[in-house]
Amino acid sequence: MKLHPMLMFKGNAGDALSHYSNAIPAALVTDKRTRDDGTIESANLVFGNNQLLMIDSPIDQPFDFTPSFSLFVFFEDPVSLDLAYERLSKEGNVMMQLGEYDFAKRYGWVSDKFGVCWQLCLPKDTPEGAGAH
């Protein structure tokens, strides 16, 4: 059994895929399938051992993303975290400023331009470059 988080967009999943694959170092888009109208039927964003399924809803939905759900990403180095934070927060909202906290060497929480929340963390108990969870 595998768990694959899924993000459902309203016609802009392709833009989100491009944005995320640029924002997150080493992220790749795989298994991308589009409908005749160009919307994303399904695609995977893969980074590390993680896979995020993304689609465009085939019907208009009355809801969107909420900050109560977020993607928590553990980084192995501060440079990659800083780059992701900078790119994901551009045109988005900062929920918590990037910095050192009691629970992390480096941490920031943003809601990106699509409304998806990302918590980006370099854990305190993990030496830089030694690997995280």
Residue 130 vs residue 6, higher pLDDT: 6
Instruction: Give the model confidence (pLDDT) of 35-85 as tens digits.
Output: 999 999 999 999 988 999 999 999 998 988 888 899 999 999 999 999 999
Average pLDDT over residues 96-115: 96
Instruction: Give the C-alpha distances (Å, rounded to integers) separating 99 from 18, 40, 91, 105, 133.
Output: 27, 35, 20, 8, 20
Phi, psi of 58 (to 5 degrees): -75, -15
pLDDT of 132 > 50? The answer is no
Nearest to 28 by CA among 11, 55, 54, 51: 51
pLDDT at 102 over 90: yes
